[in-house]
A and B are shown apart, each in its own frame.
Chain A
């Protein structure tokens, strides 16, 4: 046996001995330091959801809804228009971002084909929480003109937690902005699906 393999084995033995002897040590440390509560960031978030501070957090979240410039169907053209200067969505804090890692809102803008669904799921997983989904256009709501097609995925709301539906084929940029405003109202009322509130 070479010496490289022997060292880790010794370490493992030592660790096992320590764990065996001092099993009570962990409990003692956690329980007996006065004034210290050990918790996780998850625990803090869950605690804050029950307090008024969540209103302040939601106020900040709803006023910085950055959406992902991800054009899927013909509705994507309207997304691009919405992001341009004449619409001036910055006044609501709505800014287009090119990377899913910067974005808060994913707009499903058009037909989801069976081939595109895995990529869409991957984009959704890449977005940091809190995140929301807006269904834009008849295609993503019910299939639109392609509702009987062999290659489109139906019932997107079973796959993603959709907060707002915007009907139209395609919806005008004003309708998209209204959809964002509805999402803001939902967040302010703590009714959105992006955050799991305790009820």
Chain B
């Protein structure tokens, strides 16, 4: 299947859930999904469309729109296509269902997204900080309104 067919298959299966689906280039497609239905979409991608490789989970802080986008980069071994699937969440209380039951390797990605952006992944097996020290948890360092950045306390600067 090429990029067009994959988008068609996704939008016909989930007409109300998938929006803004478009082909970025020959090998890249992007789409927005409703946050509530993310697990079903991922399950369909993995089981019906052979998208077996989750390469990253991260987030984007859209402070002007008061939203946080969670980004899933999902690739396939059978089609030469990488799918960029996004889900919009409200900035004050970002909560989304964990996709660990579908892609097991999302475990650490979601923990990292949690510690850096404060996105709560519901039903995650073990949602705690991955590399951030405990005292920084709750500051969400990669959010745009993080107070500790830039850290201008260095004395030895030229």
Residues of A within 8 A of B (CB): 113-115, 141-143, 147-152, 154-155, 157
* A142 in contact with B151 given A114-B133, A150-B136 (CB within 8 Å): no
CA gap between A48 and B93 in the complex, in Å? 66
Partner of A148, one of B149, B155, B158: B149
* A155 in contact with B136 given A115-B131, A150-B149 (CB within 8 Å): no
Whether B157 and A142, one on each chain, are in contact in the complex, defined by CB atoms closer than 8 angstroms, is yes
> Would you give the shortest CB distance from B116 to chain A, in whole angstroms?
10
Asked if B153 CB lies within 8 Å of chain A CBs, one says yes
Whether A148 and B151, one on each chain, are in contact in the complex, defined by CB atoms closer than 8 angstroms, is yes
Whether A151 and B154, one on each chain, are in contact in the complex, defined by CB atoms closer than 8 angstroms, is no
What is the size, in residues, of chain B's interface with A at 8 Å between Cβ atoms?
A: 19
* A154 in contact with B155 given A114-B133, A115-B131, A115-B133 (CB within 8 Å): yes
Residues of B within 8 A of A (CB): 131-133, 135-136, 139, 141, 146, 148-158
Whether A148 and B135, one on each chain, are in contact in the complex, defined by CB atoms closer than 8 angstroms, is no
Contacts of B136 in A (CB 8 A): 114, 150-151
Contacts of A151 in B (CB 8 A): 132-133, 136, 141
Whether A150 and B151, one on each chain, are in contact in the complex, defined by CB atoms closer than 8 angstroms, is yes
Please, which residue of chain A has its CB at the minimum distance from the CB of B139? A150
CA gap between A115 and B129 in the complex, in Å? 12
Partner of A155, one of B131, B135, B156: B156
Contacts of B153 in A (CB 8 A): 154-155
* A155 in contact with B146 given A114-B136, A150-B136 (CB within 8 Å): no
Whether A154 and B151, one on each chain, are in contact in the complex, defined by CB atoms closer than 8 angstroms, is yes
Contacts of B156 in A (CB 8 A): 141-142, 155, 157
The 7 closest A-B CB pairs, nearest first, are A148-B150, A142-B156, A115-B133, A154-B154, A150-B141, A143-B154, A154-B153
CB-defined A-B contacts under 8 Å, sample of 14: A115-B133, A142-B155, A142-B156, A143-B157, A149-B149, A149-B151, A150-B139, A150-B141, A150-B146, A151-B132, A151-B136, A155-B153, A155-B156, A157-B156
> Would you give the shortest CB distance from B132 to chain A, in whole angstroms?
7
CA gap between A148 and B151 in the complex, in Å? 4
Most chain A CB within a 10 A radius of its CB, from B133, B135, B150 = B133
Whether A155 and B154, one on each chain, are in contact in the complex, defined by CB atoms closer than 8 angstroms, is yes
Please, which residue of chain B has its CB at the minimum distance from the CB of A113? B133
CA gap between A151 and B149 in the complex, in Å? 10
CA gap between A6 and B134 in the complex, in Å? 49
Whether B157 and A155, one on each chain, are in contact in the complex, defined by CB atoms closer than 8 angstroms, is no
Please, which residue of chain A has its CB at the minimum distance from the CB of B155? A155
> Would you give the shortest CB distance from B151 to chain A, in whole angstroms?
5
Please, which residue of chain A has its CB at the minimum distance from the CB of B129? A115
CA gap between A147 and B154 in the complex, in Å? 7
CA gap between A142 and B146 in the complex, in Å? 22
Known: A113-B133, A155-B154. 10 other contacts (CB 8 A): A114-B136, A115-B133, A142-B154, A142-B156, A142-B157, A143-B157, A147-B154, A150-B141, A151-B141, A155-B153
